[in-house]
Amino acid sequence: MPSDPNQAAALTVKLATEEPELLQGSVGAISQYLATIGRKGGIKGGKARAEILSSERRKEIAQKAAQARWQTSKE
């Protein structure tokens, strides 16, 4: 920070107005990275869970989901 109050104020205003532009690139990169990680886990997760569950348990889960869909009333 500059010692001159006017320069400090100008720098503060500059940083406050330019901050979204500076963060926009990094937020996009972070979002892209997190999406890649999530996609990787999602692709692996469904298959791994299907292998672990028995056919009876999968049927129970599917029936519960179907009941939940049909029980909701659409007003």
- Mean local confidence (pLDDT), 33-57: 82
Residue 73 is given by DSSP the state -
> Is residue 19 classed as helix, strand or coil in its secondary structure?
helix
pLDDT at 20 over 60: no
pLDDT at 5 over 80: yes
**How does residue 54 score in pLDDT terms, banded at 50, 70 and 90?**
very high
- Mean local confidence (pLDDT), 44-72: 88
More confident residue, 65 or 21: 65
Rounded mean pLDDT of the chain? 80
Identity of the amino acid at 65: A
